[in-house]
Amino acid sequence: MSDPVKRRRFVQGVSGGLAIAVAGCLGGNGEGNGNGNDEHDDHGSDDGDHDHGETGDGEGSEGFAYAFAPDAVAIVDPDEGEVVDVLTDGIDGRDWGDTQITHDYAQIFAIDDSLNQVLVIDTDSREIVSEVDIGPGATHIYHPNDDEIWAHADDEGTFYVIDTDSHDVAETVDAGLEGEGHGKLLYHEDFGSTGYATNVNDPAVHVIDLEAYERSDSIELGDEGGTHYKAYSPQNGLAYFEYGDVTAVVDTDANEIVDELDFSGGMYLTPDEERMGVLDGDEIRVLDVTDDDNEEIGSISIDGGPDALRYYEADGTLYGFTANTMTPEAVVVDLDELEEVTRLDAGDIVRPDDAHHLHRSGVSGGGYFFTPADADGTVAVIDMTERELVEQVEVGDGVDTVQYVGDSGTGYTGRTR
């Protein structure tokens, strides 16, 4: 299953809009993987010879951001706003999905949908060390425990569990009821050996036994439709699942539905775990998630299609950073005053004519906010403290995914999951 990197591969791209439409995601999962990149709309084609070891200088990657373009992976130093290294061997025409860094920041697992693989990058040597074959249509990738990476193959509705040491597919977990469907995994240490899986084809939240590698139960939400975004608030012990136009609230102790919010979208928990922003179209609804009431504190309207909300606290104020999909901008909002603070140049993304939903990833780490602009081939590096643009770093056409090496505040608890 793990393919030592040795082959020359070619990848044929497909239209960007298709992947976006299939993914149907408007924002990051707010839970997860440190790249804030849950859906991908890049596609390209070319071939390459996976002859690694020439690009890595063994200087490590801590504090740097890996920017993934179809034909290159650039390592960006955010302090200097420049590329310090580029991985090109074996990277031609890749079609990146999510990336996931391991708990020790030693490895980055990156989905390549062009060949249904997960590439493993050693962050110390800066080399691609393995290609792991998985099922088709993978988009999202998770790291529910130190030893495993879970990649969801949407075309099969199945998680492929990859051993982080051997890089073998150790198990497969059929999560979807219909054997297909775009899916996500919700995991938190409060759940123990349980996880929750969503699937856009299933009107249910699936309870996954992470140790038995099986779907142990399903929480029925209705007769039709499917589930998508998910989030968890440790303070009230409730999990939130997007289900059509509403958000189902589930008690994770009893696995029962306890509430339903009449809006839905991508959900992003604040670092103090007291508030959660829900991206409902052009509006960020801010909820109090410290108790069962899920009171809406207020909302902020952002013009330009916000996506991928990240937080940063400075001068006693909690700021939110989001990347717009319809304008070449990043927007900074004040979560305390519930108002827009400023807009910064962030470069433009590709907007295919046939795309129903647009996505733009955003990643935070080391006090910086990163958002790729695949149309411009740049990655915007924004100083979150000063709330100003450091640089739009040239990476390469189609760059659409960024992974920070270090504490990225992912899940907004300071951990990788």
Partner 1 sequence: MREGGPVGRRSHRDASKPTRATGAIRTSLVLVVVALSILALASVATPIAAHAYLSESDPANAEQVDELPDAVTLSFSGDGVQVADVTVTDPDGEVISGDAAVDPDDARVVSVPLEDADDVEGMYAVDWEVLADDGHTTSGSFFFSVGDEPLDRDAVLESYEDDEGPDEELSMLAVGSKGLVLVALVGLVGGPITAAVAVYPVVRRLDSPARPTRVVDRRLTRVLAGASVLLFASALGLGLARAASIGPLSIETLGLFLETPLGRTWLVQLAAAIALCGVLAAAVLGALSRRTWLAATAFGATVVAVTVGWTSHSATAVDRLQGGAVDVAHVGGAGLWVGGLVVLALVAVPALRATDREERTAAAAATVRRYSLLALSGVTLAGATGFVLAAWHVPSASALADTLYGRSLSAKTLLVLLALGLGGLTRFVLLRRLESPTGSIVTFARTVRLEVVVLVVVLLLSGLLTSAPTAAVVGGDDGPSTAAIEREGDDVAVTLLAIPAEVRSTAEGDDRFLLQAEEPIVFEVAFSNDPGGSDAVEATAVRDGDLLDSDRTVRVLADAVNGDATIEFELEETDDGTYATVQSLPDDGPWALRVTASPDGQFVSEWFDATVVPSGDYDHGDHAVEDVDHHDDHDHDDHQVGATDSPFVIGLQFGAIAVAVVGSVAVVLEAFRFGRRG
Least distance to partner 1 from the beta carbon of 8, Å?
5
Q: By C-beta, is 115 or 269 nearer to partner 1?
A: 115
* 47: contact with partner 1 by CB under 8 A: yes
Tell me, residue by residue from 4 to 33, as one string, x for binding to partner 1 by CB under 8 A and - for no binding: ---xxxxxx---------------------
Binding region for partner 1 (CB under 8 A) out of 28-36, 51-59, 74-82, 133-141: 133-141
Burial of 293 (0-12, 13-18, 19+ CB in 10 A): exposed
Q: By C-beta, is 171 or 336 nearer to partner 1?
A: 171
Tell me, residue by residue from 168 to 207, as one string, x for binding to partner 1 by CB under 8 A and - for no binding: -x-xx-x----x----------------------------
Q: By C-beta, is 144 or 176 nearer to partner 1?
A: 176
Least distance to partner 1 from the beta carbon of 10, Å?
5
Q: By C-beta, is 119 or 261 nearer to partner 1?
A: 119
| Number of amino acids touching partner 1 (CB under 8 A) | 24
Q: By C-beta, is 2 or 99 nearer to partner 1?
A: 2
Tell me, residue by residue from 147 to 166, as one string, x for binding to partner 1 by CB under 8 A and - for no binding: ---------x-x-x------
* 408: contact with partner 1 by CB under 8 A: no
Q: By C-beta, is 61 or 114 nearer to partner 1?
A: 114
Q: By C-beta, is 216 or 342 nearer to partner 1?
A: 216
Please select the residue that binds partner 1; options are 32, 36, 97, 135, rule is CB under 8 A.
135
Q: Are 191 and 31 in contact (CB under 8 A)?
A: no
Contact positions with partner 1 (CB under 8 A) in 249-268: none
Tell me, residue by residue from 102 to 121, as one string, x for binding to partner 1 by CB under 8 A and - for no binding: ------------xxx-----
Least distance to partner 1 from the beta carbon of 371, Å?
29
Question: How far is Cα 141 from Cα 277, in angstroms, rounded to an integer?
Answer: 22
Q: By C-beta, is 171 or 217 nearer to partner 1?
A: 171
Please select the residue that binds partner 1; options are 15, 45, 218, 413, rule is CB under 8 A.
45
Interface ranges with partner 1 (CB under 8 A) = 1, 3, 7-12, 45, 47, 114-116, 133, 135-136, 156, 158, 160, 169, 171-172, 174, 179
